[in-house]
Amino acid sequence: MITIITGTDTGVGKTVATAALAVRSGPGTIVVKPAQTGIGTDEPDISVVARLAGCEVAEFTRLEDPLAPDTAARRRGIEIPPIGEHAARIRELARTRDTVIVEGAGGLLVRLDTEGGTLLDLATGLAVDHPVRVYVVTRAGLGTLNHTELTVNALRSRHLEPAGLVLGAVPETLGLAEECNLAELPRVTGVPIVAAIPDGAGGLEPEQFRARADSWLAGFRAGYAVS
């Protein structure tokens, strides 16, 4: 199985959500980051996943500037592999692993190569010959409805039905917008909320993170709950 993790935009909590999903997927899981930018500014996403989830990881392209991958590459005059090469490497990994989780960069239409290829293109190509699940990580607060619906509609335009919405960095105390969006997000998108990652989860010790991850991904089976 190939699982794609995308987000409505940068900073919504994709990396921590990816780590939680990797814990839930269990042994035999590898997490892939096709393109990582901003090397040297913060801990790389793939390192965060490895630390929190303790799973195997792979990173295909590293770029120095904290920009969209194609922008970061063009700024430095660097050629980066096209989406087709990423897809081939992911297919090869899928031959020997139970689950391959692919974390995108920014939102669904951020260009991952200098030829204009996006995570949406990557997911579409992989779905031709592999089962693919796509999860959309989104915010709980004000502004999320528009961003989430646009992302879901983009996926459906390629005949990819999202497997679920993941709320990233949910505050301990919900405001009016967050309370309303628990019902509004599934209503306007037609996609269920399948997980809620509490704010600050990425700062937990790995043992605590792994112990709690399953509860975050099961929190919406019987109503909203994060712990």
Name the residues annotated as catalytic: 33
- CA 102 – CA 88 distance, rounded (Å): 13
Known binding residue 137? Answer is: no
Known binding residue 16? Answer is: yes
Known binding residue 15? Answer is: yes
Known binding residue 37? Answer is: yes
Known binding residue 105? Answer is: yes
- CA 11 – CA 121 distance, rounded (Å): 22
Q: What is the CA radius of gyration of the chain?
A: 17
Amino acid at 34: P
Known binding residue 13? Answer is: yes
- CA 17 – CA 40 distance, rounded (Å): 22
- CA 56 – CA 36 distance, rounded (Å): 17
Collapsing DSSP states into helix, strand and coil, what is residue 209?
helix
Please tell me the total number of residues recorded for the chain in this structure. Answer: 227
Known binding residue 8? Answer is: no
- CA 173 – CA 89 distance, rounded (Å): 42
Known binding residue 203? Answer is: no
Known binding residue 11? Answer is: yes
Which residues are known binding-site members for substrate? 37
Which residues are known binding-site members? 11-16, 37, 45, 103-106
